[in-house]
Structure 1
């Protein structure tokens, strides 16, 4: 079984004072038997060097260096202390018009820098209502995940766009259907696809985490707002440890 992963994406939130939350989290889960990943804003990556948790970037450029003002390469993130990076988050796909091809290039750059890529996929509400969810998942998996992906350098995060930050959560049957579909595609394409971790993301909180983690092929969660405070993230981690 893949080792379970609780990942927190702080998005554009957090100042140095916010790092006290990592200390609070360490007090409760410093010796957790699941992996814990925090993706703070890039300004805080270097300041997280003393935490026992894995640290990740929220995005990277596909190039190693160059005239790309404001961007960070995967190598820079690794040099700052990151071991993971998110690629393809729906907010990047939507707000920055990132394509599957761009996401695959960023993920490959992550591999080249020794980072683990958490590749995000998921459908919009319109796509869900049009009953094209699985077709969207197929397209994003085929286009966003490089051929060199394996269970050591890649995590897949399924985040239905319509559930992110809205409080709306798919039914367990809907989550099970998509995660089983993702697993089938990974095992068909990659020799170790059965061991690649698949996270669920989208309004995960302490009150629904146990139910979500009971679903087959859910190996953890990618958590947004609920990861900003240790008091909110801790119950999710506990639920994952008990799953």
Structure 2
């Protein structure tokens, strides 16, 4: 047991590499949360109905709240993740950065990479995203690689070209590509209440599957998630679509009761 300033490290220790079971439901809390909010969230949340072999549940939380989430999740089967990692692999003078090896110390199991908000606000490009993915894989942490087109790109009819360009990040990953999860999030659907039709989702995810198979013949095992305005009203319908291996949920995951309803609806059809 290791203790530092009241923080005991023995209570939460898990393998970093995730063994995905059934449908995958990942939550992106973005820059939300407080200690009081987290306490209230789990006071309303009955973990038992959401602990099921039919699905794997994970929370991507702000770095600073990893410790309290670990405390609440210590008796559950949920996975714990964060929303970013440094592109730099070696410790050094990179103020504000958090490396993959630091995340491994805290038993973080997955990390979002390439979210459209990171691409937009922090100008993250393919070379940066490639380094982040490689750093995570070197520490046996699962990268959840987010891709998706903007509304303008959709209107121009170049969705597949955009996805191809984004997926080119994976060209030189090699056999470790099987350790990655891909999340398709149309930028125009995130937080807007608008979602693509079932046919559009199926077509886009089918295209993504064909593209990753071109990069590695055994990549058919890579889970592909859908994200973008997923809520209680549409989760069951979306997760029933061909090629959809799970969901990446944003705002709806901040409301514990809604989140439980989403999970229960997914379990119901699997």
Is 1:18–2:45 an aligned residue pair? no
**Separation in 2 of the partners of 1:191 and 1:25?**
41
Question: CA 1:103 to 1:145, structure 2 compared with 1: closer, same or farther past 3 Å?
Answer: farther
2:191 to 165, 179, 184: 165
Classify the secondary structure of the residue corresponding to 2:47. Answer: helix
Residues 179-198 of structure 1: pairs in structure 2 closer than 5 A: 179-198=205-224
Q: Which runs of 5+ in 2 are unaligned?
A: 1-19
Larger Rg belongs to: 2
Is 1:63–2:60 an aligned residue pair? no
2:202 to 173, 176, 179: 176
Contact kept in structure 1, 2:49 and 2:264, CA below 8 Å:
no
CA RMSD of aligned residues (A): 1.7
Q: Which runs of 5+ in 1 are unaligned?
A: none
Contact kept in structure 2, 1:176 and 1:217, CA below 8 Å:
yes
Measure how far apart 1:147 and its partner are: 1.6
Is 1:227–2:246 an aligned residue pair? no
Residues 85-164 of structure 1: pairs in structure 2 closer than 5 A: 85-143=111-169, 146-148=172-174, 149-151=176-178, 153-164=179-190
Measure how far apart 1:63 and its partner are: 1.4
**Separation in 2 of the partners of 1:78 and 1:16?**
23
Aligned to 1:33: 54
Is 1:54–2:79 an aligned residue pair? yes
Question: CA 1:204 to 1:146, structure 2 compared with 1: closer, same or farther past 3 Å?
Answer: farther
Measure how far apart 1:97 and its partner are: 0.2
1:6 to 21, 25, 30: 25
Question: CA 1:93 to 1:189, structure 2 compared with 1: closer, same or farther past 3 Å?
Answer: same
Measure how far apart 1:204 and its partner are: 0.2
**Separation in 1 of the partners of 2:83 and 2:247?**
15
Classify the secondary structure of the residue corresponding to 1:162. Answer: helix
Contact kept in structure 1, 2:170 and 2:177, CA below 8 Å:
no
TM-score by length of 1: 0.94
Question: CA 1:112 to 1:162, structure 2 compared with 1: closer, same or farther past 3 Å?
Answer: same
**Separation in 1 of the partners of 2:80 and 2:171?**
21
Measure how far apart 1:28 and its partner are: 2.8
Comparing 46-55 with 81-90, greater Cα deviation is found at 46-55
**Separation in 2 of the partners of 1:235 and 1:134?**
33
**Separation in 2 of the partners of 1:2 and 1:218?**
14
**Separation in 1 of the partners of 2:170 and 2:216?**
14
**Separation in 1 of the partners of 2:103 and 2:144?**
14
Question: CA 1:5 to 1:175, structure 2 compared with 1: closer, same or farther past 3 Å?
Answer: same
**Separation in 1 of the partners of 2:263 and 2:53?**
8
TM-score by length of 2: 0.85
